C-alpha cells in the first residue's frame, strides 16, 4: 500500500510518501512567510501551499500515481473520539471554516489530502486530530457550575507512541494502561486506559506543565492580579506564545536554555528543572487516574533528546512504572499507520458526525 501524508505547519508543510510502513520520501516544504501573510484566513492558503508542494514533488521526481490513500493532519474540527476518519463533505466543510473556532494550519491537512485524493482516485483520511476528546466523565467537571474541562493535546503522537510501545510488550494498545507524554514546543501529559485517552490537559487553554512558549497552570487569583492593566489578548498569548521559557528568560529554545544553565545561569537552571518537576507532577496525577495500574510511562517529543530530562523523570516517576523514552515524534508515521490499518482491514474508518462527542451531563438538559 502507498500512503502520502501531509502535515501543514505555520510556515512549512511536512510531506512523506510511505510504502506500507517504510518511508520512501520525506521533505519539509518551506513557504514564504511574507506570501502566507497576504492571506486573511488559513484556508485561503490552500492553492499556494498546493502549488508549492506539487513543485517540490516534480523537482524531486516523485509521482503520486498509484497512491492508495492521502492522509492530512486534522484541524478545525469539533471534539471527537480518536481513530481514523474518512474525509467526507462534512469533515471537509468544518476543516475549511474552522468549526471549533480555532484557526490553525492543521485545517489545511484534510483539504490538501482531499484534493490530491480526487486527482489520483484514492481515499482521504485524517488520523487522531488535535480535537480528540475521550475524557471520562470524572475528568470533565470543575468547581464552577456549567464550566467543564475540555482537552487539547498532541493526540496523534501520544496515541501512536502508545500503540508502538504496546507492540514491544507483545500486547495491543487496547489491552494496556499508559501515562504518555509529548514534551516539545508544547507539553502534553495524558492517561490512556484500554485504548482511550481518558484524561489529560487543555494545553491550548493554559493547563498542565509549563512549556517553552506556554505558561501552564497557575492559580486564578494570581491570574486576576496579573490581568490588572493588561490587554486580555496579551494575557491569552501566555497560553501558547509568550509564556513559559519566553516569559521567564526571553527564549523558547530548550537547548539554549540548558546551555545557559550549564554556564551558570541560575534562573535558566531553575526554569528547566521546574518544567521537569511539573511534568513529573502531571505524570503522578495521571498514574492516580489509572489507580496505579500503569504498564509504562512513555516520553515522546523533541525535548526527550535531553538525557538530563529523561533521567530526572525516571528518578521522579520510575517507581510508578518503567519509563521509556521515544525522542522526537511519530506524526508522519502515525498518519500513515492509521490509514494503513484501515486499508488492511485491521481498523474500521470512522465518519465525522459534526457533533460534539460530549455536550453536557443529563442534569444540564
With respect to residue 140, please indicate whether it lies within any of the assigned structural domains: no
Say if residue 222 is in the same domain as residue 349: no
pLDDT reported for residue 56: 93
**What's the predicted TM-score (pTM) here?**
0.92
Residue that the C-alpha cell 490552500 belongs to: 46
Q: For 145-187, how does the pLDDT look when each residue is reduced to its tens digit (9 = 90+)?
A: 999 999 989 999 999 999 999 999 999 999 999 999 999 989 9
Say if residue 186 is in the same domain as residue 127: no
pLDDT reported for residue 340: 97
Say if residue 310 is in the same domain as residue 231: yes
Say if residue 279 is in the same domain as residue 177: yes
Say if residue 90 is in the same domain as residue 206: no
Which of 189, 152, 207 shows the shortest CA–CA distance to 286? 189
With respect to residue 146, please indicate whether it lies within any of the assigned structural domains: no
Say if residue 51 is in the same domain as residue 166: no
With respect to residue 113, please indicate whether it lies within any of the assigned structural domains: yes
Q: For residue 199, what is the enclosing H or E element?
A: strand 196-199
Say if residue 350 is in the same domain as residue 297: no
Say if residue 33 is in the same domain as residue 71: yes
pLDDT reported for residue 322: 98
With respect to residue 139, please indicate whether it lies within any of the assigned structural domains: no
Instruction: Give the HSE-up count for residue 136: Cα atoms under 13 Å, Cβ half-sphere.
Output: 14
Q: For 267-326, how does the pLDDT look when each residue is reduced to its tens digit (9 = 90+)?
A: 999 999 999 999 999 999 999 999 999 999 999 999 999 999 999 999 999 999 999 999
pLDDT reported for residue 1: 95
Sign of CA dihedral 97, 334, 257, 285: positive
Say if residue 314 is in the same domain as residue 207: yes
**C-beta separation of 75 from 106 below 8 A:** yes
With respect to residue 320, please indicate whether it lies within any of the assigned structural domains: yes
| Three-state secondary-structure class, residue 183 | strand
Phi, psi of 27 (to 5 degrees): -155, 145
Domain residues for the domain of 67 are 2-133+332-363
Say if residue 183 is in the same domain as residue 257: yes
With respect to residue 223, please indicate whether it lies within any of the assigned structural domains: yes
pLDDT reported for residue 101: 87
Residue that the C-alpha cell 501520544 belongs to: 158
Say if residue 276 is in the same domain as residue 294: yes
Q: What domain count does the chain have?
A: 2
With respect to residue 150, please indicate whether it lies within any of the assigned structural domains: no
Q: Which three cell numbers stand for residue 61?
A: 521526481
CATH of the domain at 191: 3.30.420.40
pLDDT reported for residue 12: 86
Residues of the chain predicted below pLDDT 50: none
| Three-state secondary-structure class, residue 142 | coil
**C-beta separation of 30 from 56 below 8 A:** no
With respect to residue 338, please indicate whether it lies within any of the assigned structural domains: yes
CA 258, CA 270: separation in Å to the nearest integer? 10
Say if residue 92 is in the same domain as residue 48: yes
Amino acid at each position: 500500500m502507498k500512503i502520502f501524508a501531509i502535515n501543514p505547519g505555520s510556515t512549512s508543510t511536512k510531506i512523506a510518501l510511505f510504502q506500507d510502513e517504510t518511508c520512501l520520501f520525506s521533505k519539509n516544504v518551506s513557504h514564504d512567510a511574507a506570501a502566507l501573510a497576504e492571506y486573511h484566513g488559513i484556508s485561503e492558503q490552500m492553492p499556494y501551499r498546493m502549488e508549492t508542494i506539487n513543485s517540490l514533488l516534480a523537482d524531486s521526481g516523485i509521482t503520486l500515481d498509484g497512491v492508495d490513500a492521502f492522509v492530512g493532519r486534522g484541524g478545525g474540527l469539533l471534539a471527537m473520539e480518536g481513530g481514523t476518519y474518512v474525509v467526507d463533505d462534512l469533515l471537509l466543510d468544518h476543516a475549511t471554516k474552522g468549526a471549533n473556532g480555532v484557526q490553525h494550519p492543521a485545517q489545511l491537512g484534510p483539504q490538501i489530502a482531499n484534493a490530491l485524493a480526487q486527482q489520483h482516485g484514492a481515499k482521504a483520511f485524517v488520523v487522531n486530530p488535535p480535537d480528540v476528546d475521550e475524557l471520562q466523565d470524572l475528568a470533565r467537571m470543575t468547581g464552577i457550575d456549567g464550566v467543564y474541562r475540555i482537552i487539547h493535546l498532541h493526540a496523534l503522537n501520544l496515541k501512536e507512541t502508545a500503540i508502538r510501545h504496546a507492540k514491544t510488550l507483545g500486547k495491543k494498545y487496547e489491552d494496556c494502561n499508559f501515562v504518555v507524554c509529548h514534551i516539545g514546543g508544547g507539553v502534553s501529559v495524558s492517561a490512556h486506559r484500554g485504548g482511550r485517552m481518558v484524561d489529560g490537559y487543555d494545553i491550548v487553554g493554559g493547563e498542565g506543565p509549563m512549556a517553552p512558549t506556554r505558561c501552564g497552570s497557575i492559580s486564578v487569583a494570581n491570574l486576576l492580579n496579573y490581568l490588572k492593566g493588561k490587554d486580555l489578548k496579551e494575557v491569552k498569548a501566555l497560553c501558547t506564545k509568550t509564556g513559559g521559557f519566553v516569559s521567564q528568560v526571553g527564549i523558547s529554545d530548550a537547548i539554549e536554555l540548558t546551555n545557559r544553565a550549564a554556564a551558570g545561569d541560575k534562573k535558566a537552571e531553575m526554569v528547566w528543572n521546574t518544567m521537569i518537576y511539573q511534568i513529573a507532577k502531571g505524570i503522578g496525577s495521571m498514574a492516580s487516574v489509572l489507580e496505579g495500574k500503569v504498564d509504562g510511562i512513555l516520553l515522546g517529543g523533541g525535548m526527550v533528546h535531553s538525557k538530563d530530562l529523561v533521567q530526572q523523570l525516571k528518578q521522579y516517576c520510575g517507581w510508578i512504572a518503567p519509563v521509556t523514552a521515544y525522542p522526537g515524534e511519530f506524526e508522519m508515521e502515525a498518519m500513515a499507520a492509521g490509514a494503513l490499518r484501515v486499508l488492511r482491514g485491521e481498523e474500521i474508518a470512522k465518519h465525522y458526525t459534526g457533533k460534539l462527542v460530549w455536550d453536557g451531563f443529563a442534569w444540564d438538559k
